[in-house]
Structure 1
Amino acid sequence: MGSITAAGTALAISAAAPATQDATGYAALTYTEIGQIEKIGAIGASYSKIEFKPLKGPTQKHKGGVDYGSLQPSLAHDDEDAGQTLLRTAAESNNLYSYKVTLPDGAIRYFRGRVFGYPENIDGSESIVMANPTIEIDTAIIKVAAP
């Protein structure tokens, strides 16, 4: 597979939970696309590093707990965008929401997460009012290959 551009990537949200934690369960949900997104951010798990340094011998390194990561999308704030409205609703609750990232080649990333705020960024006179929500990912990322 060759590299692809991010142009055309979409992020969508659903208040529903998948019946199963797999591509079929997530695909059955109805999603609302979040509009005016400039950047989505890095998607993927990382592990904490556990080290033991014996007096004799090399340092031993092991994988610790998994952190599925977080997204901090940057978007032009729009009160009339249905996806942004649902994202703001998610920020005001402690509920898990389902997400779908669709890449330009048709590949998909599914996951569940909570929104930890929806701060607005009001900069200078020659700028757009932006929002920078934080979505903490609580499940493994389900990857679906491009068709």
Structure 2
Amino acid sequence: MSVTTGSGVTIALTAAQPATYDEAGYDTLFTTAPIPSKIGELIGGPELKRVYQLISYNLMDRKSTEKHKGSFDDGSFTLNLVYDYEDEGQLVAQEALDSPDAYSAMVTLPNGVRAFLQLKVFGFGFGAPDANQMVGATMDVQIVTTKTGVGVVVSEPA
């Protein structure tokens, strides 16, 4: 069994694009200088989840519903952060908010599993709910599929 906790999850983000949208291309992008910035002060990580559209119809002779998969959406997620206006990763995320372009991201789990993806930032804001909490930030992300049809690429640990 290869389970892991969420403690130690990191996300790195860059405006640069890999040479190829596969494990080798992303690995080169995230391990060659300049190394992309990790988003600091992460307190709530992403859920990567592809969802297919349901196509269904009812058969009159069997009274049953036939179900098929249609197009898919690689999903969205919200990151929860402690706001740090000097954090390089949060600055890149705010830059991505104002850009129409997709950014490259790498999510790394504590057990070494890495997920590479293209994303667009649709929201980034911060606020303080009360005097006894840190100023928090949220980042609203949409995962986008490349023009070649590649979505999330998962790399198993070596």
The bucket for the TM-score relative to the shorter chain is: over 0.9
Deviations 1:121-143 (A, max 9, x none): 32011111111111100121100
Q: Which aligned pairs between 1:1-147 and structure 2 lie closer than 5 A?
A: 1-29=1-29, 30-57=35-62, 58-139=64-145, 140-147=151-158
TM-score, normalization by structure 2:
0.89
Output the amino acid matched with 2:96: A
TM-score, normalization by structure 1:
0.95
Output the amino acid matched with 1:141: V
SS, match of residue 113 in structure 1: strand
Q: 1 CA distance for matches of 2:5 and 2:109?
A: 9
Deviations 1:78-104 (A, max 9, x none): 000000000000011111000000110
Q: 2 CA distance for matches of 1:71 and 1:31?
A: 20
Identity in percent: 32
**How large is the Cα RMSD of the aligned pairs?**
1.0
Cα distance, 1:3 vs. partner?
A: 1.4
Output the amino acid matched with 1:92: D
Cα distance, 1:146 vs. partner?
A: 1.4
Output the amino acid matched with 1:11: I
Q: Show structure 1 runs of 4+ deviating over 3 A.
A: none
| Structure 1 gap ranges (5+) | none
Q: 2 CA distance for matches of 1:79 and 1:143?
A: 31
SS, match of residue 115 in structure 2: strand
| Structure 2 gap ranges (5+) | 30-34, 146-150
Deviations 1:39-82 (A, max 9, x none): 11211211111110122222100101101011211000100000
